[in-house]
């Protein structure tokens, strides 16, 4: 280990910053956040630095002079002049004062890591000066896993330490208690949602040794296919789940993000051959949660757009089970963006309508005369089997047979295809190219933009 990570307590301590430009400003911001009493030495100083210095007398507008540095708790050199930076470093080392020189690890006695500030929880990532950009990337990954509320969580835990010490005599008991409490992801969720009363209940249950394992269901919109279109929240809850129920629209890339030891149960839903009837899915969700499991119910796209999410939570509400619903990128948004077909556009469409094209007995009962507005984009979900009916009914109702239409197949995935035509040609085009599920139909003049705005080239 080249550096030992430690935390410098700088509040109200004099810290000298040599430099007053953009880089120095960044460091000044950080030092001010740590409560340092900033002293600045530089020929010129940014307005922002001026605002951060508590005592205006602590700004000295002059070049570096070989001043003694022993009185400072730390020194940071952030000038563009390497000789000055080196001289500051020498001076600080001579007086054993911790020194950081921006972008020059060889001159530093301490380095400043990339920081995730969820005060009082501070996570720092350092590459020992090898690659600040790599450290920042890793920081972004961690940031998404530990949202703002983790600061609140750390404060909550800190505030209850005395109580726990008073109730539990041995070190071992205390450690077991904290591990049990933090193993209850519902506890963490309660604190993240500022639901302190519920958090207190879990806390008390754990403290009284009753154990506590209350199940919950997370109804998660997993987006249309590209795993990166999941939300941070979807990812966090998925990673907490003990059991994952998923259907046909959920790709491997998304399942891989679940915990390795989580049970993964396929609940199907091919067209017209439902692997597990909806009623059984609902019963399963309730039963698993009641047995104390945290269940992630992964749905393609958004759970509340043609996703039967409403029905699934009705059952959970009736059974008194805790649940959360996480919105997702719906197929229409995913397909439109990845196909370069804006769903609305100043020159083409002022509104957009999502319609189910699911046929029953080869029939599609829809209010076709409401679909005649040329300035509205129509998006049909589940419309491939009924494509012929949709095209024919729209024309019979009065739409121009030359109205553009696109079939977007496997939108946002590596094998996405876009098949474009008009209401009069699309059936033939589909016969030639035989697209496979899942596919989405986009209808309206926005489709013409695909040829110029396409950007996503599937592998
Ligand atoms: N809740 C989902 C929709 C479920 S209905 C959502 O919000 O996206 C299933 C239909 O969604 C499919 O028949 C298809 O029309 C559409 N769909 C889902 N994912 C798709 C994808 N990656 N590409 C094209 N269409 C998709």
Q: Which of 364, 358, 265 is nearest to 307 (CA)?
A: 358
Ligand 1 binding pocket includes 327 (Cβ within 6 Å): no
Buried b (16+ CB within 10 A) or exposed e, 128-164: ebeebeebeebbeeebeebeebbbbbbebbeebeeeb
Q: What is the CA radius of gyration of the chain?
A: 30
* C-alpha 399 – ligand 1 centre gap (Å): 25
pLDDT at position 269 is 64
Confidence of residue 186 (pLDDT cuts 50, 70, 90): confident
Ligand 1 binding pocket includes 284 (Cβ within 6 Å): no
Q: Ligand 1: which residue has its CA nearest to atom 13?
A: 382
How many angstroms separate the Cα of 18 from the Cα of each of 42, 96, 182? 6, 17, 44
Is the overall model pTM greater than 0.85, yes or no?
no
> Tokens in use for 29?
């911001």
> Tokens in use for 342?
């804006």
pLDDT digits (tens, 9 = 90+) for 350-367: 999 999 999 999 899 999
Ligand 1 binding pocket includes 410 (Cβ within 6 Å): yes
- Kindly list the catalytic residues: 247, 269
Ligand 1 binding pocket includes 418 (Cβ within 6 Å): no
Distance CA 341, CA 338 (A): 8
> Tokens in use for 168?
């539990």
Ligand 1 binding pocket includes 438 (Cβ within 6 Å): yes
Q: Ligand 1: which residue has its CA nearest to atom 9?
A: 382
Residue from 246, 336, 381, 417 whose mutation best tests the ligand 1 pocket (most atoms within 8 A of CB): 381
pLDDT at position 211 is 60
* C-alpha 81 – ligand 1 centre gap (Å): 58
Ligand 1 binding pocket includes 381 (Cβ within 6 Å): yes
pLDDT at 227 over 90: yes
Cross-sheet strand order for the sheet of 404-409: 351-356, 376-381, 439-443, 404-409, 417-422
Confidence of residue 443 (pLDDT cuts 50, 70, 90): very high
- The pLDDT mean for the chain works out to 93
- Cα angle at 152 between 147 and 158, to 5 degrees? 130
The number of the ligand 1 atom at minimal distance from the alpha carbon of 304 is 1
* C-alpha 418 – ligand 1 centre gap (Å): 15
Ligand 1 binding pocket includes 355 (Cβ within 6 Å): no
Antiparallel, parallel or unpaired: β 243-246 and 294-299: parallel
Cross-sheet strand order for the sheet of 99-101: 59-60, 37-41, 14-18, 74-77, 99-101
Q: Residue 163: which H helix or E strand, with range?
A: helix 161-167
pLDDT digits (tens, 9 = 90+) for 244-281: 999 888 988 999 999 888 999 999 865 555 578 888 88
pLDDT at position 268 is 81
The number of the ligand 1 atom at minimal distance from the alpha carbon of 382 is 13
pLDDT at 182 over 80: yes
* C-alpha 310 – ligand 1 centre gap (Å): 17
pLDDT digits (tens, 9 = 90+) for 74-93: 999 999 999 999 999 999 99
* C-alpha 301 – ligand 1 centre gap (Å): 6
């Amino acid at each position: 280990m080249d550096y030992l990570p430690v935390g410098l307590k700088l509040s109200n301590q004099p810290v000298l910053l040599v430099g007053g430009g953009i880089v120095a400003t960044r460091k000044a911001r950080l030092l001010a956040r740590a409560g340092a009493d900033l002293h600045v030495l530089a020929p010129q100083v940014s307005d922002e630095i001026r605002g951060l210095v508590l005592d205006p007398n602590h700004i000295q507008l002059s070049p570096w002079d070989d001043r003694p540095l022993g009185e400072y708790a730390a020194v940071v050199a952030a000038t563009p002049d390497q000789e000055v930076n080196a001289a500051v470093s020498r001076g600080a080392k001579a007086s054993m004062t911790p020194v950081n020189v921006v972008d020059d690890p060889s001159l530093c006695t301490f380095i400043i890591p990339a920081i995730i500030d969820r005060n009082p929880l501070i996570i720092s990532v350092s590459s020992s000066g090898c690659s600040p950009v790599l450290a920042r990337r890793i920081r972004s990954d961690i940031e998404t896993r530990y949202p703002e509320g983790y600061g609140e969580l750390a404060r909550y835990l800190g505030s209850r330490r005395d109580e726990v010490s008073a109730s539990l005599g041995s070190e071992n008991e205390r450690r077991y208690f904290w591990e049990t409490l933090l193993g209850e992801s519902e506890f963490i969720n309660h604190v993240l949602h500022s639901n302190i009363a519920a958090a207190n209940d879990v806390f008390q249950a754990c403290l009284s040794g009753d154990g506590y394992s209350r199940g919950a269901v997370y109804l998660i919109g997993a987006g249309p296919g590209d795993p990166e279109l999941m939300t941070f929240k979807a990812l966090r809850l998925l990673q907490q789940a003990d059991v994952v129920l998923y259907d046909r629209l959920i790709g491997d890339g998304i399942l891989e993000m679940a915990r390795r030891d989580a049970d993964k149960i396929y609940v199907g839903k091919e067209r017209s051959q439902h692997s597990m009837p909806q009623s059984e899915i609902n019963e399963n969700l309730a039963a698993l949660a009641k047995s104390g499991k945290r269940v992630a119910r992964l749905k393609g796209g958004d759970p509340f757009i043609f996703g039967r999410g409403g029905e699934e939570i009705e059952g959970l509400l009736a059974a008194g089970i805790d649940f959360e619903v996480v919105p997702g990128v719906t197929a229409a948004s995913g397909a439109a963006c990845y196909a370069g077909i804006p769903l609305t556009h100043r020159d083409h469409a002022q509104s957009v309508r999502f319609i189910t094209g699911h046929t029953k007995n080869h029939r599609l009962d829809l209010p076709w005369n409401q679909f005649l507005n040329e300035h509205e984009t129509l998006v049909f979900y589940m419309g491939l089997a009924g494509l012929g009916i949709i095209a024919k009914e729209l024309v019979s109702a009065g739409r121009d047979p030359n109205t553009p239409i696109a079939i977007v197949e496997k939108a946002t995935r590596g094998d996405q295809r876009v098949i474009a035509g008009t209401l009069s040609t699309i059936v033939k085009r589909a016969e030639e190219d035989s697209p496979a599920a899942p596919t989405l139909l986009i209808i309206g003049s926005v489709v013409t933009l695909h040829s110029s705005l396409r950007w996503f080239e599937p592998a």
